[in-house]
Chains A and B, each alone.
Chain A
Amino acid sequence: MHLKYESQLREPLVYGDKTYHQVTEDIVRPIEAKPSRLWYIGFFTAVALLMFGVYSVYREVTYGIGQWNLNKTVGWGWDITNFVWWVGIGHAGTLISAILLLFRQGWRTGVNRAAEAMTIFAVMCAGQFPIFHMGRVWMAFFVLPYPNTRGPLWVNFNSPLLWDVFAISTYFTVSLLFWYSGLIPDFATVRDRAFTKLRKRLYGIASFGWTGSTKHWQRHESLSLVLAGLSTPLVLSVHTIVSFDFATSVIPGWHTTIFPPYFVAGAIFSGFAMTQTLLLVVRKVFGLQDYITMGHVEAMNKVIVLTGSIVGIAYLTELFMGWYSQNKYEGYTFWYSRAYLFSPYGWSYWGMMACNVLSPQIFWFRKMRRNLFVTFFMSIIVNTGMWFERFVIIVTSLYRDYLPSSWSVYYHPTIWEIGFYMGTFGLFFTCFFLFAKYFPTIAIAEIKYVLKTTGESYKDKMGVYEAQPLEQFAHDQTHH
């Protein structure tokens, strides 16, 4: 008897002749094996980068914001560019785990765990920038609204910057809860096959005493579904609110109503690119090709070409509106500061166009979508392009304001600004290396759940049912 049935037309999500036990073996094996030399090299490189970042931040905290090259018009530079870039990357995880869950996209099960981890680490990196951009970071707690002895002096609840505080911290908290609640049953799996006392103890703590009781699973399913339902508008709201940081201002280049959907599409675009970068490495290093299949890679490339094109339309719409509004400041920003190749920052605009709009079009071809080298290369290109996009939005709108006497200074970062950015790469990859080594990188229980409908060997046996008339199939499925 088959409890579920899926058409053979759909590609299997799990390759090979797998049993439930084999799934456990395959996914837990990298956790139980000693890390490879490559892992150590990668991990310590990441830690070294992190240390450089810590030193850069130390200088900024000790000597002040003057360690960065921000000037009288470019008050937001690399720091806020990097903030928006990281937050954008942090969108794919929740999109995959929440929106694709609601849309019943079966392929999300193979990639959601790693993508959610990526989300959490990316948001952690993003948060550093506005916090240290405050300058006097020891007063960062002033953003929290609590009855205080300063009046009480409250925060401005009408400000998009405060909305951001709420949006990012809520997003981080909810993503973390979603991720961890999914991890509990998988930690229990690792715990129950631990072969040293220490592992048993630590995974015992991490698994919260999970037993796999039917009632607990029922609640777990309910929890996942509601968290997915909550996260879906949440993930859209976060980048919308980040875009409000710009869109509610009156700066030419920022003051546009297209920003929320444009930012959200861009976030999904860059998030999927980063997911590709990481997962292509993970599947190769841990030998998880049976679980993160070519079908997964292709599905994500489809999302990349779709969102890349949406972003492209947004760029063109902005240019059109820059002309159509007949506002000369808007026109100057869009047509001179950005789109004119030989303006001071024209290179960044055309870099953005080439990376985000033109090159992803290659994914209209199935052959390219299923080519790992092209995919990996494109994932780097897209993330570079998305960094350019944020740089373009922030710096080209600021470097020439209404007062031509302020125009002279060309903004370029100091080594400590770059160091801070490198440091967040260090933080991100340090966390990701630890995650890949000690956490199940694929949701074990979810794979088992879809195994008998989408596993290759099970699908092969479905041919009999495919040929049967519907009445016969229905008859056989009924208990007698």
Chain B
Amino acid sequence: MAKKKFVVGCFDDEAVLFPAVKKVRTAGYKIHDVYTPFAVHGLDHAIGERETSLHTAGFIYGITGTATALSGIGWIFTRDWPLNIGGKPHFALPAWIPIMFELTVLFSAVGMVLTFCYLCQLAPFVKKHHFHPRATDDLFVMVIECTDKTNVDDLKGFLSSNGAKEIDVQVAETGWWLGSYDKNEVLFENRTVAA
């Protein structure tokens, strides 16, 4: 995977971040990503991400579960081993509803979580480049990708004038790799860091 050069601007307030995102995009810079400590509503649309289709996947997994339960039980009780239970019909649909429902939920939930982890490349032992350790604490970290034409100094000044508190330039891997977080990482030392 290729390494790329990024200008990183850190904001300490989402109310400052939003106008900055708008201005950075209007100025024609390419926002690689914004890393936030919590889900900031509207930020996904502000940086131009399309709506996720994860819920559609969840629906498909769900009906797969329903179909699995119905066809599985149906086949077992009418074809494979028709069992006479008090002379009642072999195809006893009402009695299968609980299991059909449970498998719908189970398939949908498990499928969605796995899809979520796959799309976001989340798994144990996965490691990624973190642009700022406080992105999971209290900073909103805007990462702008540099192209050949980007004037880094201009961009830094531009971010600063739009309210970024810390600005630096990083060359970083964009993908993920297998690794552990205790290697080549700075440990958190200043325990009494002010907000």
Contact = CB atoms under 8 A, between A and B. Distances in A.
Contacts of B123: 208-209
Given A19-B195, A181-B116, A157 B135 contact: no
B134 to A, nearest CB: 7
Contact of A223 (B43, B103, B116, B126): B116
B3 interface: no
B112 interface: yes
Nearest to B126: A209
B152 interface: no
B27 interface: no
A100 B137 CA distance: 26
A212 B102 contact: no
Contact of A214 (B22, B47, B106, B176): B47
B63 interface: no
Contacts of B39: 217-218, 220-221, 445, 449
A157 B96 CA distance: 7
Contacts of B52: 215, 218-219, 222
A447 to B, nearest CB: 8
B99 A162 contact: yes
B145 to A, nearest CB: 14
Interface in B118-154: 119-128, 130, 133-138, 141
Most B C-beta atoms less than 10 A away, residue of A167, A184, A221, A230: A230
Interface in A189-226: 189, 191-198, 200-201, 203-206, 208-223, 225-226
A214 B49 contact: yes
A166 B99 contact: yes
Contacts of A167: 98, 102
Contacts of A66: none
Contacts of A160: 98
Contacts, number: 228
B61 to A, nearest CB: 10
A98 to B, nearest CB: 11
Given A166-B98, A206-B124, A217-B36, A197 B182 contact: yes
A213 B136 CA distance: 10
Interface string A292-330: 000000000000000000000000000000000000000
B37 A445 contact: yes
Contacts of A181: 113, 116
Given A204-B181, A217-B39, A218-B52, A156 B116 contact: no
Nearest to A178: B109
B6 interface: no
A218 B34 CA distance: 12
A2 B15 contact: yes
A328 B124 CA distance: 61
Nearest to B134: A192
A233 B14 contact: no
Given A152-B80, A184-B122, A445-B39, A200 B99 contact: no
B60 interface: no
Interface stretch (A47-55, A111-119, A169-177): A169-177
Given A21-B195, A218-B44, A208 B126 contact: yes
B195 A22 contact: yes
B85 interface: yes
A162 B62 CA distance: 21
Interface in B82-119: 83, 85, 88, 92, 95-96, 98-99, 101-103, 105-106, 108-110, 112-113, 116-117, 119
A219 B109 CA distance: 14
Interface of A: 1-3, 19-22, 24, 145, 151-154, 156-158, 160, 162-163, 166-167, 170, 173-174, 177-178, 181, 184-185, 188-189, 191-198, 200-201, 203-206, 208-223, 225-227, 230-231, 233-234, 237, 241, 244, 445-446, 448-449, 479
Given A152-B81, A223-B116, 16 more contacts: A1-B15, A20-B37, A24-B137, A163-B98, A174-B105, A204-B180, A211-B135, A214-B34, A217-B38, A217-B43, A226-B112, A230-B62, A231-B105, A233-B101, A244-B98, A446-B38
